[in-house]
Structure 1
C-alpha cells in the first residue's frame, strides 16, 4: 500500500463506475479542470477530498492508495463492443481487466493452478505471417490433441490451459467480450447475457485473438482482426474433417438445429461454417439464413437445451473460501473494492450464494486446485 494518493487509481475507479470527469466533479463538488489535474498528477487532493471522492464512487479510501494498476499492453488488448466502439467502454474494460489481474495474482499466490498452455502462432507453425485462421485453428487442435470431435466444454478446456475467465456484466452491456495476457496467462472476459452457444463462440473468438494477434503478428486493422478471430472460432469449434465427416446428403434448414446441438454452436454459426466449407452454395446459404432468422435464430436458439458453461476453477476457489467461512467480502477486502464488484466479475460463471457465513451447500468441481504450501 502506498502512503501517497495514486492518480491512476482515480481514473480506474471512474472507468469502473462509468462516470465522466464532469459527472464525478459534480458529485464531489469540484471543477472538472481540477479533477483533470488530479488525474494527471498535477495536484494532490486533500484527505477530505479523497474521502468525498471515495464516497461518490462507493469505494474504500484505501483503494486510492494501492499500487499503480497494471493495464494490458495496447497491442495485446483485444476488445470489441456490440455497438459502435465507445472510448468509455474500452476504458471500463481496461479498468475491469486491471481488477481481474489483481484477483488473478492473489489466486496464483494462494493456490497451485494449471500452468499457462495457450501458445501464440509462432509456437504452432513456421508459416507465421501467412498462417490464416483455418491453419491456426487446425494447428492448435493438433497441438492440444483434440482431434476433430466437438469440444465438450470450452471453459474447462481453457482453464486447464491456465486461462482465467471472468464476466463483464451490469452496466457494461455494450461490451461483447475482450481478452489479454497477464503474467503469461490468458485472461478472457465474457458477456453472460448471451446464449450458451454464443458464449462458447466468444471464447473461441478470444482464443483466436490470443493465438494470432499478439506480438509481431499483430494485424493493425481492427475489422480484419475481428474477421480473422471469427474465422478461427468457426474452424476451431467445427473442424473441417469432423464437420464434413458427419454430413450426409443435401443440407436443409431442418438439419441446422441437429448440427447445432452436435457441435454446440449457434444455428447461424453452423450455416456460416457450411458455406465456408463449400457444402452449401451462396443461394442456399442465403435461403437458410433467411429462414433461420424467421424462426428466431438471430437472437436466440429455439429448442436448444445447452446450459452455459461454468467455471470449475472459480467454483473450487469459492468452495475453499466457504469452508473457511469466507466469501465475497473477503475477496473485496483484498482488492479494496465492494463485494458487488467481485461478484460482477463472476456473474454467470459460478453460483452466487456465497456470503461468508459458511451455510451454503457444497457443489462439485473437476478442477485440480491445491493450496500453495506456506
Structure 2
C-alpha cells in the first residue's frame, strides 16, 4: 500500500483517538496541536503532516498503515453494543471498546478468505419478542428452546465458550481498563460477537457473563442505540439477559431436582457439576421457589459470613474456558504458510499486541523462527 497524504482515512484518526478513550483536548495536549486541528483531521478538512501522523501513531499506539486502511461499510442492521455495566460505564469507555468489535470483525473477515468458519446457528426466537418487556416465564421457554435447538438435553453445559464458537459466535477475551465492565456483545455486519474480560478471576462467573451476552444477542437485537442507554430500558434488558443466563445454565427441567439441601457446602458440590457460582445458584433457587424466604436469607447471611460474595471456593480450581476459534484460524494460516506473519500484521494494521489480545494468541506467535546452527562440533579422536 502506498503511503501518501492523498489516501489517509480521516475516520481512522477519530477511531484511533476514541479507542484510547481520549478527548480531542487530551490528544491535543499529547501531540501539541490544537483541538481544532484534530477536529479538522477527523473530518477530512485538512490532512495531517507526515510528522503529525507519526506523532498520532506513536501516541495512540497504532501502526502508520492503520491510518491508510479503508474502513468496511457497517450494516444498517447492526445491533447496539450491549455492556453488562452500561449504567456505570462512562461513554468514552463504551465508545473505546465498541471499536474492538470492529477490529475483531476485520480480523474475522480477513481470515474468512482462507478459513471455513462455523455458520451462525441460533434459534429464531422472534415470535416471543414484541418489542416490550419479556416476562420470566417467556424467558424460561426461550432458554429451553435454545437447549433443544442445540440438542443439549437437561445436563450441565460442559464448555459454554466452545459451544458458542461451534454455533458461529465469535468470542474474544481481553483485559478491560475499566473494572466496571464485565463483558459486551453486538451483532455486527450479520455476525454475533462477545467480548469477555480476562481479569474476572472466576471461570464460573465468566461463563455466566457469556450466557448473559448470548441473552442480549437473542432477546434484544431489535433495540435502537438510544433506547439501550435509557435507564428504564437498560434496567429491563439487563434483568432479562441475567434471567436468561440462569435459565440456560440451570434449566428448569433438571436443576430443581438437584437442589435438595439448603447449605453452602452442598451448593459448592453442585458448583463443580453445573459450573455456576453459589451466588447464581441461590438466585436461581429463589427464582424457582426452591427455598423459602427464610432459607434464602440464611444462605445470603452465610455468604456474607464466609466472605464469598466476591470470591468463592473452587474459583481457582475450575479451569477458565478460553476462546479458540480466532486463535486456531491464525495458527492454521501461518503454520501452513498461506500468509506470512509480516503480511498478516501489515494487512490487519494493528499492533501485534492488540491482535494477540483479541485473538487469544501466544505472545511469541509472530516471532521469527529460530535459525538452526550452520556449524557443528568436531569429532575429536
Of 294, 311, 320, which residue of structure 2 is paired with 1:300?
A: 311
Q: Deviation per CA, 1:157-213: give whole Å up to 9, x if none.
A: 011111111123153444211111233221100001111001100110000000000
User: Residue by residue, what CA displacement relative to the aligned partner does 1:262-318 show, whole Å, maximum 9, x if unpaired?
Assistant: 110111001100111100122221221221233232212213421001223234224
1:284 and 1:254 mapped to 2: Cα distance?
Answer: 14
Partner of 2:299: 288
From 96, 107, 119, the equivalent of 1:103 is: 107
Measure how far apart 1:119 and its partner are.
3.7
Cα deviation, residue 103, structure 1: 0.6
Q: Distance in 2 between matches of 1:20 and 1:34?
A: 13
Aligned residue in 1 for 2:329: 317
Deviates most, 207-216 or 229-238: 207-216
Q: Which residue of 1 aligns with 2:151?
A: 145
Decide whether aligned partners of structure 1 residues 284 and 351 sit closer, same or farther in structure 2, where only a CA change above 3 A counts. Answer: farther
In the aligned structure 2, how far is the partner of 1:238 from the partner of 1:279?
13
- Once the two structures are overlaid, the 10-residue window that deviates more, 228-237 or 72-81, is 72-81
Correspondence for 2:251: 239
CA contact 1:148–1:241 (8 Å) conserved in 2: yes
Write the distance in 1 (CA, Å) between the matches of 2:362 and 2:59. 30
Q: Quick one: distance in 1 between partners of 2:274 and 2:168?
A: 24
| Cα separation, 2, equivalents of 1:286 and 1:36 | 55
1:7 aligns to 2:19 (yes or no): no
- Using the alignment, how far apart are the partners of 2:20 and 2:182 within structure 1? 18
Pair 1:312–1:289, CA change in 2 (3 A): same
Query: TM-score, with normalisation over the residues of structure 1?
Result: 0.86
Change in Cα spacing, 1:244 to 1:15, as seen in structure 2 (3 Å) is same
Whether the 8 Å CA contact 2:79–2:224 is kept in 1: the answer is no
**More deviation in 77-86 or 106-115?**
77-86
User: CA 1:280 to 1:252, structure 2 compared with 1: closer, same or farther past 3 Å?
Assistant: same
1:323-342: CA deviation from partner (whole Å, max 9, x where unpaired): 25788765432221211111
Given the superposition, is the C-alpha separation of residues 164 and 52 from structure 1 closer, same or farther in structure 2, using an over 3 Å criterion? Answer: same
For 1:343 and 1:83, the matched residues in 2 are separated by 30
The offset of 1:216, in angstroms, is 6.6
Cα gap change, 1:312/1:55 in structure 2, threshold over 3 Å: closer, same or farther?
closer
Provide the rounded CA distance (Å) in 1 between the counterparts of 2:128 and 2:181.
Answer: 33
Paired with 1:189 and 1:70, the residues of 2 have a C-alpha distance of 21
- 2-side partners of 1:120 and 1:164: how far apart? 19
SS at 2:367 equivalent: coil
Q: What secondary structure sits across from 2:153 in the alignment?
A: coil
The 8 Å contact of residues 114 and 161 in structure 1, kept in 2 or not, is answered as yes
- The alignment of Structure 1 onto Structure 2 pairs a total of residues equal to 353
Report the alpha carbon displacement of residue 6 of structure 1 after superposing the two structures with TM.
1.6
Distance change >3 Å, CA 104–CA 113, structure 1 → 2 = same
**Match for 1:226 among 204, 225, 238?**
238
Structure 1 residue aligned with 2:175: 169
**TM alignment of 1:146-225, pairs within 5 A:** 146-169=152-175, 171-194=177-200, 195-215=202-222, 220=228, 221-225=233-237
TM-score (norm 2): 0.84
Q: Match for residue 332 of structure 1?
A: 345
210-219 vs 45-54, greater mean Cα deviation: 210-219
Q: Please state whether the residue corresponding to 2:113 is helix, strand or coil.
A: helix
CA RMSD in angstroms, aligned pairs only = 2.6
Relative distance call for 1:283 and 1:71 in structure 2 (3 A) is farther
**1:76, distance to aligned residue in structure 2 (A):** 3.2
Deviation of 1:93 after TM superposition, in Å, equals: 1.2
Gaps of 5+ in 2: 371-381
Tell me the alpha carbon deviations over residues 50-78 of structure 1, each in whole angstroms, 9 at most, x when there is no partner: 22222222222221111135567674321
Structure 2 CA distance, aligned partners of 1:150 and 1:60? 44
